[in-house]
Structure 1
Amino acid sequence: MDPKRELTSVDLAALVGELGAYEGAKVDKAYLYGDDLVRLKMRDFDRGRMELILEVGEVKRAHTVAPERVPDAPGRPPQFAMMLRNRLSGADFAGVEQYEFDRILEFVFERDDGTTRIIVELFGQGNVAVTDGEYEVIDCLETVRLKSRTVVPGSRYEFPDTRTNPLTVSREAFDHEMDDSDTDVVRTLATQLNFGGLYAEELCVRAGVEKGMDIDDADEDVYERLYETIERLALDIRNGNFDPRLYLERDDEEADDGEGESEDADANVVDVTPFPLEEHDDLDGEAYDSFLSALDDYFFRLELAEEEESDPTDQRPDFESEIAKQERIIEQQQGAIEGFEQEAEELREQAELLYAEYGLVDDILSTIQGAREQDRSWDEIRERFEEGAEQGIDAAEAVVDVDGSDGTVTVDIDGERIGLVAGRGVEQNADRLYTEAKRVEEKKEGALAAIENTREDLEEAKRRRDEWEADESGPAAETESDEDEEETQRDWLSEPSIPIRENEPWFDRFRWFQTSDDYLVIGGRNADQNEELVKKYLEPGDKVFHTQAHGGPVTVLKATDPSEASSSDIELPESSIEEAAQFAVSYASVWKDGRYAGDVYAVDSDQVSKTPESGEYLEKGGFAIRGDRTYYRDTPVGAAVGIQCEPYTRVIGGPPSAIEAHAVTTIELEPGRYAQADAAKRLYRQFRERFEDETFVRKIASPDRIQHFMPPGGSRVADD
């Protein structure tokens, strides 16, 4: 099945409750990536740093992410990001709501100088609109001009037409929606009740109703069971009764593999839900403590999987997508400019109307000011104008609203509604409108400058496309000798862009490294893998290493690859043997206990057996050794993590001498006080600082991937 790329209405209903726990967090900074991803960096006083991602492109999502997974900040913040920073820096997160049961989230932020709302549309083309406290649109990623609704800067934000909310629908309204249908039950739940396909099918399964049942055949009992099932679902969402699941789908080959289940890395993520679904019983499900953490993991793994599917070294750059993107940005910026022009013109017209009806406006303002001097309440002033309007007094009829909370009065002059500051005169109010028009004009100038920058980016993309097409053979035109010379002289750390060349070897799920002599060493991560190594991968000519300390991995120094013919005649280099011994002691309990050396023994493959001596018993992962052992006393621990760029781009780890031979940069470790996950994050930050292309490190060397190659237990960087 295709992986989910858009959150459902049920997902959003569940998400709102968990996001609400972050109320009170303060906004530090805002970022915009491309034209569809907004990131808000925030600080929660109980949980620390919080990163909120709002994406409305091909992938539509809204959730928190782990700080180490956020994308690198863009080099030049666009106007939209600067606007967000101006309005949100230091603001408090006041809450989030789902609009009806639609795929719309409304985030509210409060600051002393006002309220800002971020409305995220996670349907259709997707959009992010930023409004003030009164829903006037400050800016938006996409301008919307439809007969049914308009979303443009300067206008009042208009929500789509409301639809039935199935989580609050009454039994009478439910029956009406069902009776109004002319299709089957599942399609009625999906469309009339707005559940969408997946949850419509899930409700049928939970209620014990046949999905394809024609609506005309559904009796009172069917309606009752479905409605009760919907009520239970709604109750779980309201009460936060979640048991999140991340679902994975394996290839047919992997599912039928007689050797047992393969690692999760071999499966594809396909869905994430706030609770288990019976519709997904045929999929592998992973449980999570919170829906937010499940969403973070799901979209992170989805992105990694999609990156692995593409090989940028063999593909023509997608110039068309980049050009189309820049053209969309220009279209949005032109819409914003038109909105600014319209807003400025309306403000100037309002100022001129005040002067055109000077006497009327002055009468209104003088009446309010006189009443306030007599200590009359705002309610009394409002009532006085209402009485005057009933008597046909022109000034009173022009008053639309009196708002004592901010001392303003709204008047209607020639069909134009104008807000006035009651404590000021006509000239001051007109000057305020002219000043506001000037401020909007300045925003327009900023937008004009931004659109010129975008046009330059567009022309640059077209130029690169033309250059590529003019060179018929593309980058492959370099001669083989030129390529060889380039590779030998290439300074990978200084490269602005490093192509990703990934290759997941068969041994990647084990602990492994290549010795400095290019021999493969693999070790088990647990008893199951120890068992598998001895049973499946141990061949003539291999050497097996094990520590005297309890809990050490089975470590195999391979004489040949499993795809090659095995041979007991190969003489393994002493340097490889020493590195394998160091690997065995470093990835055992010796390191975890904070010790710097341990004893290791080595035997030939034919000395290892899974058959115990008579009267003895072998635990899973254990094995029997027969014959003499070669001991390596006081073998020092030693581990390094490095990044390899040739022939593949990947993280590698193992004994320092071996890793330095294969990596462009390494960091050496020793037993220490930092937990494995924390140490991995420190290494990740250091690697990012070393590479010019920071995105390269993010793509291939996440903290999780680095941790995959680190010894168990506490560590620290050797030079710290």
Structure 2
Amino acid sequence: MDPKRELTSVDLAALVGEFGAYEGAKVDKAYLYGDDLVRLKMRDFDRGRLELIIEVGEVKRAHTVSPERVPDAPGRPPQFAMMLRNRLSGADFAGVEQYEFDRILEFTFERDDGTTRIIVELFGQGNVAVTDGEYEVIDCLETVRLKSRTVVPGSRYEFPDSRTNPLSISRDVFDHEMDDSDTDVVRTLATQLNFGGLYAEELCTRAGVEKGLDIDEADQDVYDRVYQAIERLALDIRNGNFDPRVYLESADEDETDDAADEEGNDTDEGRVIDVTPFPLEERVTLPAEPYESFLTALDDYFFRLELDEEGEPDATDQRPDFESEIAKHERIIEQQQGAIEGFEQEADSLRDKAELLYAEYGLVDEILSTVQTAREQDRSWDEIEERFAEGADRGIEAAEAVVGIDESEGTVTVEIDDQRIDLVAEQGVEQNADRLYTEAKRVEEKKDGALAAIEDTREDLEDAKRRRDEWEADESEVDETDDDEDDQRDWLDEPSVPIRENEPWFDQFRWFHTSDDYLVIGGRNADQNEELVKKYLEPGDKVLHTQAHGGPVTVLKATDPSEASSSDIELPDSSIEEAAMFAVSYSSVWKDGRYAGDVYAVDEEQVSKTPESGEYLEKGGFAIRGDRTYFRDTPVGVAVGIQCEPYTRVIGGPPSAIEGQAETTIEIEPGRYAQADAAKRLYRRLRERFADESFVRKIASPDKIQHFMPPGGSRLADD
């Protein structure tokens, strides 16, 4: 029996309901692998990192996957992935629907600047079309030009012709479809009622109807039993009554396995062949494994299907894949960090709302008193809503603030300073504010749990590294000479350099690690400067800035955001000096063609977003209180290089820091070449240094090099 490689219409109808649990998740990034697999990395406040995989090639599927199972990020993102990132970054997942009973899913994402729909076609050749809120196609993986429909960029997306939806079919229509058939019962269910072969057979079995019964011989009793079986199936799907199963191939499924056994290979026993949202009588003879949710079952099924089809490698003297295990733990830590950030944002938002209630105490009290008085007078919720609408028309401030009333929850939604707040109508201002504070505290407790989980994962990570080191130590005892050769491995001469990529949380900023291995991050613009001060500045950190206008906020981190901050850490002078060089190099000093500038450093507690009385702070600006430590005439200096271990990537920053971390580096200085042109010159020079030029093309394209270059003109120092 061939394993399932495509989801059925019934599968899609079932998983739509489970997807609803993730509504409100925010999109972080989008990826495209090859030409048929899309990955959306999202963040759910309750569950942390969330990964959605959409594949429309030989395998056709759409489901969430465990973060440790996502494929490593590809190299330079193609245009389709960049378009998705531009439209979806920061967007909220608003829901997913199945079109009719077709194998089409429509994912909707909302952002302040508009709606984006991702329409996934899991039939035929497969396709992913991205449209705006009005269904105008922005881009698609495959263009479709048929007589019946067209899917091309710039046109309105056209769905296929409507088909009968058997899950909502009336009895009259059902009878008509059955009467109109000229074949047997099972084929009628499969084709005219669109159930497909497996579920057509399942319905016949559940109804106790012979599959091959000719439709002309089917009487009213047969119709009744089949229709009742359809109704029960539809009811289970609508109510989410799932009991998912992954089915395995039985030992005697294929007699040809015996030959394979004689050669010492594994048989097909235990290989996955199907996944369904509930147990099927058609699969009752097969071994099955139950799952808590259909999405989890889909994740496990397709993961195991891929393993089955790849085959098992020979295990003789095979070195454990420590790198994959280490990378897995690092990805989990990143996921946990994302969850912590989400908890912090949610808690801050709840506290802000509570403080707004007190700031607008009179307004909020008037709204609540109006509702409470009206309810005491037995006025209906509809009457109350109409009264607020009339008040808003007359320009009454309290009425204008009311944007919604939920009778079922007994709540009033108000909008204050662009913040929407749900108020429990029977409670006062203080009680509503306390409720929000309590909820913020509950979210903070989730953060504490995530911090504890990170510590556990860090222990697992260290354990994996320890076992790797022990394995490598044992290898060195067996063959010390080979180990010495490994230690002196010259990546520049290697004909093939393995790619090991990661996406650190700070990759959105300018960044480098000092020669003492402390992280330095800097803003690329006013928004990022604002974010660094508000979100990432912690006790013990140093903040550096140039005297020249237009420099980045530069933060020398004493600890990682996931670690407990401490003001007791003494940052080395060498790291502070390198951070000062970084601050001046990526400021207007470089852009103006100068070779030195003044930089000052202050402690974290000296930085504030609150201006002095009578002063005003622009976006990205901040106030400094207390003494500053100056670094006069700090020279500019930037080196760009390629790192091969532990990850393969471009890095850049002060030469004293970068040269010890990269396999090869090139220093640059202010010059006449535009940033993009200088990046191309750097790329060509770096590519010439590696025997594996394809490696440089994959991980160090000119646009990635440009990411680490200062603003303004540059030239290579040795030109």
Which of the five TM-score ranges fits, normalised by the shorter chain? 0.3 to 0.5
- Of structures 1 and 2, the larger Rg is shown by 1
